[in-house]
Amino acid sequence: MCEYNLTIPSLGESINEVTIIRWLKKEGDFIKKEEILVEITTDKINSEITSPINGFLKKKFYNKNDIVEIGCIIATLTTSKKIDKKNEIKFYIKKENNKIFYSPIVRKIAEKEKINFYELETINGTGIKGRVTKNDILTYIKNKKSKKILLYKSKKNNFNEKIIKMNRIRKITSDHMIYSKKTSAHVTSFVEADVTNIVKWRENLKESFKKKTGEKLTIMSVFVRCVIKAIKDLPMINISVNETNIIIKKNINIGIATALPDGNLIVPVIKNADFYNLFELIKIINDLVKRAKLNKLKPEETKDGTYTISNIGSFGNLFGTPIIHQPQVAIMAIGLIHKKLSIIENSGVDYIKIRHKIYLSHSYDHRVIDGILGGGFVKKVAYYLEKFNIYTKIKK
């Protein structure tokens, strides 16, 4: 039994990745040589990849809607016959009306220089009816090689630029953010909250709390508690979406977006956050954030979140438009706590006082959350923040 690894062929210099549209065969199916196996797409064109052999589809490594880099193995095929090394993956471009024709000499040159049909189509033909001539393809190859040389020289000689590769976390984050924007219809609502009581409460207790417990008294613990209360009031925020199905989560697992020393981002998760009292939340948050920055989190500690909080105030930002952490449907960004002159009404009389204010930015998936729920939720969180009791005790 011989195996053949099926890869995504080159689609031109500017194409680095494709998206799987659909598989036409299942694992275990028999496939004839040159039979269409999978349909793919780029931002420019839809295409088909055919089987280079008669055999069976042993294993698919990617599914529908997966993004795959050029050159990656997408499937393994098996055959009882020895595989001819000259077998090449046939790659078809879907055309609307006009049929592509290339002369034998052009096809021979293209095969030798490993130029596929997509690249051939990009060459401007000077022959009859715009056909690509021998001179056209040779000129294209010459220009292509000279461009690579010039690109190499410009990279080598440009001392004003430095090229660095994305590390693994940065690339995963990048892919996840792009996927989230493609998946969810993002809407963001903003609310201002008065957190004066919380600020004063922390100032009064932080030193004694540190001496007594060894723990840093974080305001984030209060935000988490208020978010939990709001989720219990409005449980349709604590959901996910699977195609046309809405999945309501029974557990409240709160993710805390944490900036790492190298500038990357990670989201440790407090599982069953509603089971803990304030003291326990303080300890858990301090521990997760500390180990996150030391790169000591376990894989399961970043999974299964149902709602995420991002503290953009730590960067000095007032408000923002956070991107939803898939497969969740909402995320809240907490802005910088700052002093403001505010009008306070008391017994029908207005007073001007200095208060500690904060902006809450709530991004939610408009496919399943309308403004009345998305905007109402952030308003509910603000309500609980403003009603926080300045005399709250921290009990173990």
Catalytic positions, written as ranges: 366, 370
Helix (H) or strand (E) holding 74: strand 73-79
User: From the centroid of its chain, how far is CA 368?
Assistant: 19
| Amino acid letter, 142 | K
Contacts of 294 (CB under 8 A, 6+ apart): none
For residue 360, the cross-strand partners are 191, 334
Find the angle CA(325)-CA(290)-CA(232) to the nearest 5 degrees: 45
**78 vs 1: CA distance, rounded Å:** 7
Question: Per the structure block, which two tokens stand in for 236?
Answer: 């349709």
For residue 332, the cross-strand partners are 309, 362
Using DSSP's 3-state secondary structure scheme, residue 338 falls into strand
Contacts of 347 (CB under 8 A, 6+ apart): none
Closest CA to 332 of 360, 373, 367, 370: 360
**102 vs 133: CA distance, rounded Å:** 8
